[in-house]
Chain A
Amino acid sequence: MRRNRKRESLRLGSVARSLLVCGCIAVAGLTYVYQKNQIYRLGEEVKKHEATLLALDKRNAMLAAQLAQFKSPAYLEARCQQYHLGLAAPRDTQVIRLPEPGAEWDMKVPPMAATPVPAKKPAPKKVVARR
């Protein structure tokens, strides 16, 4: 009788429950280890990206300085002379300054659109007398 009861207590249900608990613990443990591993791996990735960012930042600063040097008026003038580009600021004689029409101008000259353009008369045909 007692033996039968003992056999009954080792039935599938309790074994399964025990296995489930063990499995849960194992999964939790494995998840923990996996996550730890992921954290470490991601940490390493972050470190790598940080190093890249720092390197890019340094390079950016270096290139910004170079760009500023290339854009400086003195450098541009020197390069223009070096390559004989013939680029120079226009001289006063090369600049035609047009006065902006003010109110007085408006009164004297009617607006262009309001002035009818006379139709061109066809030029008279030259008649060449034939001898």
Chain B
Amino acid sequence: MTLHRQQTRMLIVLCGVSLLFTAFAMRLVQLQVWRHEELAQLAANNRERTIHRQGRRGKILDARGNLLANSQSVRIVAADPSMTASNALATAQQLAPLLALDVPTLTAKLSSPGRYVRLKQKVDEDTAAKIRALKIKGLVLEDQFVRTYPNGALASHVIGFVNHEQTGVQGIEAAMENYLQGRAGYETIERDRKGREIRVLREEVLAPRDGCDVVLTVDQVIQHIAEVELDKAMAEHRPQAGVIIVSRPKTGEILAMASRPTFDLNDPGRFPADARRNRCISDVAEPGSTFKIVVCSGALNDGLVRLEDRFDCHNGEFLYAGRVLHDAHPYGILPVEAILYKSSNIGAAVIGIKMGAPTLYRYIQAFGFGRKTGIALPGEVSGIAHPLAKWTALSITRIPMGHEIAATPLQMIMALNAIANGGRLMRPLIVKRVVSPEGEPLLNFEPRQVGQPITPRASALMTAALRKVVTPEGTAPKAAVEHYDVAGKTGTAQKIENGQYVRKYYSSFIGYLPAADPELSILVSLDNPVGGAYYGGTVSGPVFSEVARKVAQYLGLPAQQPQSDSQLAKL
């Protein structure tokens, strides 16, 4: 009996133990087989972590390697209020001087509901190190890149800026986005019990790659000279807006491009959209008398006129197609050369009539009007050059004096460059090269000729005539530059408001130096100067002279003796 009971008990215990082990085994199978994927993932989540790293955005440099835009690593200071709430006041008192925030605001943030609150963005590395040294539990320092522009507003319209996602939205930042943008990378790491990375177990899947550097043709010193002089002109003549472009005629390189009003690149949102517009490429206006260079060079190129040919300027009143065309000063008989340097509207109109509309239109197109220049900046407009079919009877007298046509300042200076450069029309160049993060040149942008509107001989004849513009006989003696031979043209165009010409003017001057072998061309244009003076030669001429003098001095252009007309004609 006792044996039987013992055996029964043993059987029960055995069954119990068997059941227990069976249960364990089943649980094991459940954990290891059925829920393997899920639990393995949970374990991996505890141990592993994927870190995304953003590549640094490339730099923008000027022609001499000076930094114009750079990306800096800063920190976002954030907190987990569930950990900081208990000691919010003391923590706030520690952090307030470092973050430049007041204690009540910080206390409120540190004790707010939720598990994540941003305390401050764009905290520099030095401050971040000080915060880290405080060893406050619940504080998080996150990485962030910010774009910085060391020169503030200098060349702001050319450089452009980025949005919060570090994507270029204007200027070179937008135009060269594909090169500048860094490539993001990520790595999977394993952490130990304390949450520290076990370096040997790192599985780096994709390394981040920094963006390429973009080198511009712009020179920061020339840009500074242009901007300082433009600011002076803005203060003196109080125009609505103003632009200065400095370029190199032989290559089409843009050395400076200044526009007013302007904005600070480090805080573009503080300025109105109007101030952020690059007027050099996005604003069109009737060029006025500066456009006479097109009609005269076309007529000279086709042999329709010679510089010494004389035309009747009708004493300042010329009736054509039922409308009277006026000159600022009445002139009688003037040679072509004088039509240019005295800027006779009637003279230009008479030459235009002699050329005929189709020829004039051909030259307008050949000089690049009515189409984009192709500069590597976003927002460029084509200007307005009506097709021949839309010309009225008056057009042939109005277009030669720069009316009924609209051009951007960039188009005007590129047309002038063609005259300065032996008739070769160049594509404007603003990006010199793209360099890899390792410093290897990836792309070189070479000067490119896009047309030949006139011959070198016609170009030399035009230079001979334009040199006289800055003499006492011409319209811009104030644009002369001591020790340098300057060729240029003034422009004073009436503005149109609500379809009517009003007593507001665009005052401009375009010119190049040295006239015989141009190294520089400069455009100055002021939109509606107030205070009496509005002629291009009086308002923009002196600005041109000052910019040209300083830039020539900076570039070390050798001073020269004025050359005679016969010497220039030989060229």
Contacts and interface: CB of A to CB of B under 8 A. Distances in A.
Given A68-B151, A72-B220, A61 B71 contact: yes
Contacts of B70: 61, 64-65, 68
Interface stretch (B196-204, B246-254, B459-467, B494-502): B196-204
Nearest to B559: A97
A48 B73 CA distance: 19
Contacts of A100: 558
Interface string A36-63: 0001101110110000000101110110
Interface of chain B: mostly helix, strand, loop or mixed: mixed
Nearest to B227: A74
Contacts of B154: 72, 74
B72 A58 contact: yes
Given A62-B72, A64-B67, A71-B66, A43 B199 contact: yes
A114 B70 CA distance: 59
A59 B125 contact: yes
B550 interface: yes
A99 B154 CA distance: 36
A62 B200 contact: no
B549 interface: yes
Contacts of A73: 220-221, 224
B193 to A, nearest CB: 14
Nearest to B200: A43
Given A68-B151, A72-B150, A73-B221, A62 B124 contact: yes
Contacts of A46: 199
Interface in B452-492: 482-483
A106 interface: no
A92 B152 CA distance: 31
Interface residues on A, range: 20 to 34
B553 to A, nearest CB: 7
Interface in B515-533: none
Nearest to A76: B224
B125 A62 contact: yes
A55 B483 CA distance: 53
Interface string A81-123: 0000000010010000101100000000000000000000000
B558 A72 contact: no
A89 B554 CA distance: 9
A61 B224 CA distance: 24
A57 B150 CA distance: 18
Nearest to B75: A58
5 contacts: A43-B200, A46-B199, A67-B67, A89-B553, A99-B559
